[in-house]
Chain A
Amino acid sequence: MANAIVTVPAQAKRGEIIEIKTLVRHAMETGFCRTQLGELIPRDIIRSFVCIYNGTEIFSAELHPAIAANPYLTFTTVATESGTIAFKWVGDNGFAVTETAAITVA
């Protein structure tokens, strides 16, 4: 079952600014909500996101309870070399999702 969608341009010119878009499935339960019986729903959120381009971290983010479900993050980077761009989301209760995308830089 798909847990993340990422888009990276398949091809880019060296030095070009490329846009990367990511979407991940997560309920982002804040820990402040209660059930209809008044019981507190424990916090369950993604804590961090990191993007690694051929071994180098190019973007990272800390996520907090006020972020909506299914977080969508988009950012830009400079296409430097061909290779893979890896994405990793880590969160409460052992949540971990990884995704990779290939890019060819000419």
Chain B
Amino acid sequence: MRDRIGERPRRARTAACLLLGFAAATTAAEIPLGERRSGYEFMGRETRAMQDDDVANPGMLWVLDGEALWNRKAGTAGRACADCHGDASLSMKGVAARYPAFDPARRRPINLEQRINLCRTDHQQAAPLAYEGRDLLGLTAYVARQSRGLPIEIVDDERTKPFLDAGRATFFRRQGQLNLACTQCHDERWGKKLAGNPIPQAHPTGYPVYRLEWQSLGSLQRRLRNCYIGMRAEPYEYGAPEFVDLELYLMWRARGMKMEAPGVRP
């Protein structure tokens, strides 16, 4: 009882400080390149050990699925990914580190999942795979696995610039009933706690990740939906251009950082 009475004014003060803090957040700055940290560095010892060991990392189950799909013929063209691309460990090396990438035919950046589905519809004449389905996650994880340890390299030119700017604008725009912008947590308050957990810098180095909370592998867009719901905003649909632009900005923001896919996150 004594504790509860003592608690109340302190809580009110904290809330006031938070509100002031958010109100002051008008000129947010990006994290200097040298101070960027992967989400891996915010994790506990056991979770890091899970990611580091391919037998303990459940994401590898999806990678093995992806490997089987890579070599399986699909669609009316009767072609497997391997029939065009050959050995993924050579042909797909570094590919995931460059996505989202500009697609000249669609005149906008597309993410890795969309690229895989375009390959299916255009070259295999097969039905596109469902977003967050086991097959698309498997193929994405298998392709992304081939870039592990390589630096993220997003092309920043006049073609991608408008989309990069749109993604950046989304990152800095206040959204949802809580009126929060991504930057307020991930640029200004990283390393502090939210509901007892450290706030990471939001670098998408390990996607698709095995998230312990999900007990499953999930895409970056699934993670973005989580943040949107958390700030009481309505998430965009899977594959929505707004989300791809945000993915593009996040990957550009993590440029030069090492790929970890499939990562493990709490």
Contact of A69 among B50, B55, B60, B216 (CB under 8 A): B216
Is B58 in contact with chain A by the CB < 8 A criterion?
yes
Q: Chain A residues near B54 (CB, 8 Å)? A: 5
A26-67 CB mask vs B (1 if < 8 Å, else 0) is 011000000000000000000000000000000000000000
Contact A69:B215 (CB < 8 A) given known A1-B68, A5-B61, A25-B61: yes
CB < 8 Å neighbour of A27 from B53, B64, B215: B215
| Minimum CB–CB distance for B166 against chain A, Å | 33
Which residue of chain A is the closest to B215 with respect to CB atoms? A69
Q: Which residues of B contact A72 (CB under 8 A)?
A: 50, 55-56, 58
Q: Are B215 and A21 in contact, CB atoms less than 8 angstroms apart?
A: no
Instruction: Determine how close the nearest CB of chain B comes to the CB of A85; give it in whole angstroms.
Output: 14
Q: Which partner residue on chain A sits nearest B212 by CB separation?
A: A68
**Digit string of B45-63 for contact with A (CB within 8 Å is 1, else 0)?**
0000010011110101100
Number of A-B contacts (CB under 8 A): 41
Closest chain B residue, CB of each to CB of A29: B215
**Is A96 in contact with chain B by the CB < 8 A criterion?**
no
A21 to B51 CA separation, bound complex (whole angstroms):
14
CB of B242 closer than 8 Å to a CB of A: no
Whether B188 is near chain A, meaning CB under 8 Å from some CB there, is: no
Q: Interface readout for A60-89 with B: 1 if CB under 8 Å, 0 if not?
A: 000000001110101000000000000000
Size category, A interface: 10 to 19
Interface residues on B, range: 10 to 19
Residues of chain A lying within 8 A (CB to CB) of residue B156: none
**A-chain residues with CB within 8 Å of residue B55 when the two chains form the complex:** 5-7, 21-23, 72
A21 to B58, CA, bound (A): 12
Q: Which residues of B17-59 are within 8 A (CB) of A?
A: 50, 53-56, 58
User: B58 contacts which chain A residues (CB < 8 A)?
Assistant: 23, 25, 69-70, 72
- Tell me whether B132 is interfacial, beta carbon within 8 Å: no
Q: Are A1 and B56 in contact (CB under 8 A)?
A: no
A97 to chain B, nearest CB (A): 12
Closest to A70 in B: B58
Bound-state CA distance A48–B116 (Å) is 38
- Residue A10 is within 8 A (CB to CB) of chain B in the complex: no
CB pair B215 A70 closer than 8 Å: yes
Q: Output the least CB separation between A25 and chain B (Å).
A: 5
B215 touches A68 (CB 8 A): yes
Taking a contact as CB atoms under 8 Å apart, the answer to whether B215 and A23 are in contact is no
Complex contacts, A3 vs chain B, CB 8 Å:
61
CB distance from B149 to the nearest CB of A (A): 20
Contact A70 B56 (CB under 8 A): no
